[in-house]
Structure 1
């Protein structure tokens, strides 16, 4: 019976064949232990010389790292194994013999591993991170589909910026100027006016010359947008969504979290509702803690970490100053210096994973913001139309996938959370 490593539990004490690669091996004079992987998981194959004969045993002993094989054997239950099973091998067929595989079990520097990212992905740790990433994506679709959202795909090539910044990748679009999208949000607002509740999932690009462990040049965003919804209602959706995703990973990625040596007790506490602190109170708290920061300044990584350490689950920082937030955010009803927005800060020093707000729904106020931010009315005329023809209260947010993966996995750097990271000085492989 041909099967995969994750399915071997269905064939205990039965003979199976698995297509696999050799991740590692060790052997004594009479037994060889093969660490096998097939993309779905990892399992140990045990080759006993007395049971298989000289020829197969020598084949097993001489196998090189990352050689591809078909391995046949009996599935045995083994509570000591991470997966709960091992394979008593009685047959081997070599598909391709790998030679001088560059990533050996010894320690390698980060730059070396990044240069060999196409091979580094095969390692147990990187495999686990990619499986968690996949579960977050799967749970995202499940959550939004189950809650009445429609998936909409905004364009990647745009004629203007969503946030009015200069950190854009410029390209020529035939005779016009175009940019790689830094957010699909404005288009999602248009989609929400047509479909009610929508979400997108796609790549975004920021030409920021940043080298911090939290930044990528190309990253993926989940961006829901909701018509007839105010800021407070949006916060409930956000905390419900994040809770759902974290609990889905805890349920469906036990082996991966174990391989990552993740302290899951901290993730188990991630249940809605989440605590909230206003920007005003956050500034006061930071000053009391000895941070040099004044009202009107944005928070950096040390500030977010200090605030997060007060809580055992993600925390919303609400109502930031208008001058440090995007042009489309709705003013607070009783204050003209702050807007109806919130950033969700992950615990354990992982920083902002969500930014969200209620959007301006008044045509004249949006025109005023265009003028204040020097935005071209021609370029943004279509966005103004959303306020001219049946405007409604609406809110939305964006979750950065890679930061979320990093937090849930407990990685030190965001570069491990995407298959092929694009960093300030890295476009290879």
Structure 2
């Protein structure tokens, strides 16, 4: 019976055949242990010399790391294994023998591993991170489909920039200037006026010359927009969504979290509602904590966000930022014109902002004024302004950065491990 490692629980005490690679191996005299992987998971294959043909045992001893094989054996329950099963090997058919595989069980430097990212993905740790990433994506679609959202795909090539052009990759679009999208938000607002509640999931690009562990040049974002939703409605959707995703990972990726050594007790606490702190109070809090470098009107850096997050055991919303440090499209607070109805959601444990969101300006004249104040082209934003001319309504939305969320939930330190092939300031290969 041909099967996969993921499905072996269905075949306890039965003989199966699995197409696999040799992740690692060790032998001690009359027994060989093969660490097998097939993309669905990892399992140990045990080859006992007295129980197999001599040729099979010799193959088990000589087979090299990352060689591909068809392995046949009897599935057994193994209480010592985190996976819970092992394979008593009865036969091995070599498909392709790997020679001098560069990533050995010894320690390797980060740059070496990044140069070999196409192979590093095969490791148990990277496999676990990618499985958690996949579960977050699956749960995202499930959540928004359950909540009545429609998936809409905004363009990647745009003629204007939601937040200015300084951090955009420019390209030529025949005889026009174009940019790689840094956000699908403006287009999602148009979609929300047609479909009510929408979300997108796609790549975004930031030409930001940052080398921190939180930044990528190319990353993926989930961007919902909701007609008739105000600022408070928006925060409820965000906390329910994040809670849903975290609990889905806990339920469906327990083995992967174990592989990564993640403290799941901290994740168990991630359930809505989330705490909130205003920007005003955050500034006071930081000043009291000895951060003399921050004053009202400044944006927060990583140390500031971390200090605030450490006061809570859940993600925390920082709300009502100054108008001057936020994009042009954010709705002013009804009682103050110096702050806007926005919030950043800061993840615990030093992972920083994972969501930025706001209520959007729905008044045509105010939005036109903001566009002019930000020295943006009214012609380029004519279509966006028209959304406020024909049946404008209060509406809100947010964007969640997938890679930062994967890093937080999986507990890995750097976002470069949370995307299959990271694009960094100094890296376009492989």
Instruction: Please indicate the TM-score interval, normalised by the length of the shorter structure.
Output: over 0.9
Instruction: Identify the residue that residue 27 of structure 1 maps to in structure 2.
Output: 27
- Report the secondary structure of 1:7's partner residue: helix
The residue number in structure 2 matching 1:275 is 275
1:102-141 CA distances to partner (integer Å, 9 max, x unpaired)?
0000000000000000000000000000000000000000
**Match for residue 366 of structure 2?**
365
The residue that corresponds to 2:424 in the other structure is 423
Q: Within the alignment, does 1:16 sit opposite 2:10 as a pair? A: no
Inter-partner Cα distance in structure 2 for 1:53 and 1:158: 64
Task: State the alpha-carbon separation in 2 of the partners of residues 300 and 312 from structure 1.
Answer: 20
Partner of 1:123: 123
Which residue of the partner structure matches residue 395 of structure 1? Answer: 396
Q: For 1:93-242, list aligned pairs within 5 A.
A: 93-242=93-242
1:331 has 2:301 as partner = no
Secondary structure of the 1:379 match is coil
TM-aligned CA deviation for residue 165 of structure 1 = 3.9
Q: What's the secondary structure of 2:345's corresponding residue?
A: strand
SS in 2 for 1:256: helix
SS of equivalent residue, structure 2 residue 213: coil
Describe the SS at the equivalent of 2:387: helix
The match for 2:75 is: 75
How many residues in Structure 1 have an aligned counterpart in Structure 2?
Answer: 429
Give 5+ residue unaligned stretches, structure 1. none
Structure 2 partner of 1:91:
91
Answer with 23-32 or 160-169: which moved more.
Answer: 160-169
SS, match of residue 32 in structure 1: strand
Secondary structure, counterpart of 1:387 in structure 2: coil
Distance 2:154 2:227 in 1: 17
How far apart are residue 28 of structure 1 and its match? 1.1
TM-score (norm 1): 1.00
Distance 1:53 1:253 in 2: 38
Partner in structure 2 of residue 341 of structure 1: 342
Matched, 1:41 2:41: yes
Distance 2:259 2:345 in 1: 27
Cα distance in 2 between the residues matched to 1:271 and 1:396: 21
Alignment-derived partner of residue 407 in structure 1:
408
Query: What corresponds to 2:50 in structure 1?
Result: 50
Give the structure 1 partner of residue 384 of structure 2: 383
Report the equivalent of 1:59: 59
How high is the TM-score relative to the length of structure 2? Answer: 0.99
Question: Cα RMSD between the aligned structures?
Answer: 0.4
Specify the SS of the correspondent of 1:40. Answer: coil
CA distance in 2, matches of 1:263, 1:93: 40
CA distance in 2, matches of 1:173, 1:5: 47
Cα distance between partner residues in 1 of 2:197 and 2:97? 52
* Alpha-carbon separation, structure 1, partners of 2:344 and 2:157: 27
Q: Deviations 1:215-270 (Å, cap 9, x if unpaired)?
A: 00000000000000000000000000000000000000000000000000000000
Gaps of 5+ in 2: none
Q: CA deviation at 1:53?
A: 2.3
3-state SS of 1:64 partner: coil
Listed one character per residue, the Cα deviations across residues 265-284 of structure 1 (whole Å, up to 9, x for unaligned) are 00000000000000000000
